[in-house]
Chains A and B, each alone.
Chain A
Amino acid sequence: MKGVAPRSAAIGIALALLLALPFWLGHHTYYINISSQILFWAIAALALNVLVGYAGLVSLGHAALLAMAGYTAALMLQAGYGHGVGSLAAVAVTLAASAAFAVLALRSTGIGFLMITLALGQIVWGVAYRWASLTNGDNGVNLNGRPAPFGISLASPEAFYYTTLLCFLVALVSMWVFVRSPFGVSLAGTRDQPRRMTALGFNVWLIRFLAFVLSGFWSGIAGLLYVYYHQFIAPPVASLQASAEILLMVISGGTATLLGPIAGAAIVVIMKNVVSAYVERWNLVLGVIFILIISFMPEGLVPGSVRLSRTGWNWLRARFGGGAVASPRERTS
């Protein structure tokens, strides 16, 4: 089949670049850390994309799920538990919270769903901020170092980068499998024609519920990586702004695509960290970039770039090729 070979080649090159990243970045700690951040925010964006892109359910409370995983791990460690127990507890708490969020929010879809997730997120933020005896309030919780699974210390930026990369690749592959699976296809069906799906014999509510829990699971993994990366967690990570940022990653990159949320995460993290070093009003730059994306590529950066490059290619062919114009049949996913 045409198109498979270049696709495999592109994946191979991307993988090689990611694996060799610390080397071609000259072991520059700052840039390796930025890369780790992009990867765990990309996991969070991929997680949210399960709901926004494939289920058609826009959540504005996802940062709260991420924060809950981070807080659980941090508080368990502070209470004297080990990293293994703390991490497992973090995932368990996030799964339980996702299930509770889902039961409440799935009473509605559309704007109702968005408002309920927003409210739930604000509750979590409120607990983190105000319940100081538990969460240490505004001062946040500090961690005493990163774990050393199987005797490998994650203290160095390189070690942490590779751990994050591993989690990211597992998340990405599992998403790739998921969207091609009968369950993933059914989920997309509930987005496009929920009524028909019910009449066809699908349990639309349960499909959405399970998708929410899956999304919560990967949000929890992202939260764990977040807290181990910063070795500190404070209420802003649970805030509405954080939820909106993850949502912007998904929308600007391209919903219901696998690469879109990753591109979106890269843009936001680079803007926040790199551009802010040169431009004081980096938020303004970020805003302008989003407006440009929405104006010229309303479907998102990744599908938009594919469309524009195809149009450009056709234009070039028509102008200089002379022959019949056929668009290269590429697949976006």
Chain B
Amino acid sequence: MTALAVKGLNKSFGGLRVTANVDLAVEPGERRLIIGPNGAGKTTLFNLITGEIAPDSGTIALFGRNITRVACRRRAHLGLARTYQIITLFPRDTIERNVTLALLGRAPVRWSPVADLERRHDLLQQARAALARVGLEHIADRPLAQTSYGERRRVEVAMALAQEPKVLLLDEPFAGLSIDERRDVQKLLREIPRSVTIVMIEHNMDVALDLADRITLLHFGEVIVEGTRAEVVADPRTREVYLGA
């Protein structure tokens, strides 16, 4: 069964067609890379898949279940998690509290107005475990305001991983990172087990190509090329649209 199946998806903002008849079929465990120039509609596609915006037409299915009309928050409960290109974290809290919020999103205890969150050792342990996966366990207590950009990128990934998603959408996880940081994130993404399906938007081809099984090239909201790494890189349309030949 296909992990994520998008069929005939359309979205226009006014007269601008940002998603044009997009089809996408990602198999379980696959690593799919989505590339395309600025304004190709990559992040919009993510927003449609997670339900942050509604499509004009088309369907989205998660493991065979049609989720086109399912609310954004419910999609998280069905195993869909994402990171943001523009870092979207909780600036007043510690790193650990950020990850704890991600855990709460899927825990019924989030409705309790009387439980003491600091005594929920089960949640705190899971948060520490998620931070250990991204190598930030040693600074879990640090306020987010005192962390570096690279660390915040990793907090983004830790929050998504903490939710134990079936399908993980990564929106430019390497954006703005130094070479060393990129290598760290690359390693951490490679360690994610194949039980998690990953769809990744990335501009940084040298780190991203290495992770991808298949690549989809978007241009003006349309899928131009799709195939294996070698096929897409070799395709003349890729060179024309993206690699700027």
Q: Does A198 lie within 8 Å of B72, measured CB to CB?
A: yes
Q: Flag whether B163 is at the interface (Cβ < 8 A).
A: yes
Q: Does A200 lie within 8 Å of B115, measured CB to CB?
A: no
Q: Which residues of B contact A193 (CB under 8 A)?
A: 88-90
Q: Flag whether B148 is at the interface (Cβ < 8 A).
A: no
Q: Which residues of B contact A202 (CB under 8 A)?
A: 73, 104-105, 110
Q: Flag whether A5 is at the interface (Cβ < 8 A).
A: no
Give complex CA distance A181, B110 in Å: 8
Q: Does A180 lie within 8 Å of B117, measured CB to CB?
A: yes
Q: Which of B117-135 contact A (CB under 8 A)?
A: 117-118, 120
**Chain A proximity of B62: nearest CB distance (Å):** 14
**Chain B proximity of A4: nearest CB distance (Å):** 13
Q: Which residues of B contact A180 (CB under 8 A)?
A: 116-118
Q: Flag whether B140 is at the interface (Cβ < 8 A).
A: no
Binds B, one of A183-191, A259-267, A273-281: A183-191
Q: Flag whether B7 is at the interface (Cβ < 8 A).
A: no
Give complex CA distance A198, B112 in Å: 18
Give complex CA distance A184, B114 in Å: 9
Give complex CA distance A197, B100 in Å: 12
Candidates A181, A200, A203, A204; contact of B163 at CB < 8 Å: A200
Q: Does A181 lie within 8 Å of B117, measured CB to CB?
A: yes
- Tell whether A182 pairs with B112 under 8 Å between CB atoms, given A195-B88, A196-B84, A201-B163: yes
Q: Does B88 lie within 8 Å of A184, measured CB to CB?
A: no
Q: Flag whether A192 is at the interface (Cβ < 8 A).
A: yes
Q: Does B163 lie within 8 Å of A177, measured CB to CB?
A: no
Q: Flag whether B52 is at the interface (Cβ < 8 A).
A: yes
Q: Flag whether A1 is at the interface (Cβ < 8 A).
A: no
For B, the interface residue count at a CB cutoff of 8 angstroms equals 37
- Secondary structure dominating the interface of A: helix
Instruction: Map CB proximity to B onto A186-225 as digits: 1 under 8 Å, 0 otherwise.
Output: 1011001101111111111000000000100000000000
Q: Flag whether A23 is at the interface (Cβ < 8 A).
A: no
Q: Does B52 lie within 8 Å of A199, measured CB to CB?
A: yes
Q: Does B73 lie within 8 Å of A203, measured CB to CB?
A: yes
Give complex CA distance A193, B92 in Å: 11
Q: Which residues of A contact B104 (CB under 8 A)?
A: 182, 185-186, 200, 202
Q: Which residues of A contact B81 (CB under 8 A)?
A: 199
- Tell whether A185 pairs with B97 under 8 Å between CB atoms, given A178-B113, A200-B163: yes
Q: Does B111 lie within 8 Å of A189, measured CB to CB?
A: no
Q: Does B111 lie within 8 Å of A182, measured CB to CB?
A: yes
Instruction: Map CB proximity to A onto B49-74 as digits: 1 under 8 Å, 0 otherwise.
Output: 01010000000000000000000111
Q: Does A183 lie within 8 Å of B112, measured CB to CB?
A: yes
Q: Flag whether B102 is at the interface (Cβ < 8 A).
A: yes
Q: Which residues of A contact B118 (CB under 8 A)?
A: 180
Q: Which residues of B contact A189 (CB under 8 A)?
A: 90, 101
Give complex CA distance A202, B159 in Å: 14
Instruction: Map CB proximity to A onto B77-104 as digits: 1 under 8 Å, 0 otherwise.
Output: 1000110100011111100010011101
Q: Does A201 lie within 8 Å of B73, measured CB to CB?
A: yes
Give complex CA distance A186, B111 in Å: 8
Q: Does B115 lie within 8 Å of A182, measured CB to CB?
A: yes
- Tell whether A186 pairs with B101 under 8 Å between CB atoms, given A181-B113, A193-B90, A201-B163: yes
Give complex CA distance A156, B104 in Å: 48
| Candidate in B50, B74, B110 with the most chain A CB atoms within 10 angstroms | B110
Q: Does B88 lie within 8 Å of A196, measured CB to CB?
A: yes
Candidates B73, B93, B111; contact of A183 at CB < 8 Å: B111
Q: Flag whether B45 is at the interface (Cβ < 8 A).
A: no
Q: Which residues of B contact A188 (CB under 8 A)?
A: 90, 92
Q: Which residues of A contact B105 (CB under 8 A)?
A: 197, 200-202
Candidates A183, A199, A200; contact of B113 at CB < 8 Å: A183
Q: Which residues of A contact B112 (CB under 8 A)?
A: 181-183
Q: Flag whether B33 is at the interface (Cβ < 8 A).
A: no
Give complex CA distance A33, B106 in Å: 49
**Chain A proximity of B72: nearest CB distance (Å):** 5
Give complex CA distance A178, B111 in Å: 11
Q: Which residues of A contact B89 (CB under 8 A)?
A: 193, 196
Give complex CA distance A186, B103 in Å: 11
Q: Flag whether B25 is at the interface (Cβ < 8 A).
A: no
Q: Does B72 lie within 8 Å of A192, measured CB to CB?
A: no
Q: Which residues of A contact B158 (CB under 8 A)?
A: none
Q: Flag whether B157 is at the interface (Cβ < 8 A).
A: no
Candidates B101, B109, B120; contact of A200 at CB < 8 Å: B101
Give complex CA distance A200, B106 in Å: 8
- Tell whether A182 pairs with B117 under 8 Å between CB atoms, given A199-B76, A200-B76, A201-B105: yes
Give complex CA distance A175, B189 in Å: 41
Residue of B with least CB distance to A178:
B113
Give complex CA distance A181, B91 in Å: 19
**Chain A proximity of B3: nearest CB distance (Å):** 18
| Candidate in B72, B74, B91 with the most chain A CB atoms within 10 angstroms | B72
B residues with CB within 8 A of A: 50, 52, 72-74, 76-77, 81-82, 84, 88-93, 97, 100-102, 104-107, 109-118, 120, 159, 163
Which 6 A-B residue pairs are closest in the complex by CB-CB distance? A200-B105, A201-B76, A201-B105, A183-B113, A196-B88, A182-B110
17 CB contacts below 8 A, A to B, read A180-B117, A181-B113, A182-B109, A182-B110, A182-B112, A182-B115, A182-B117, A182-B120, A183-B110, A185-B101, A186-B110, A188-B90, A189-B101, A192-B93, A199-B81, A201-B73, A201-B163
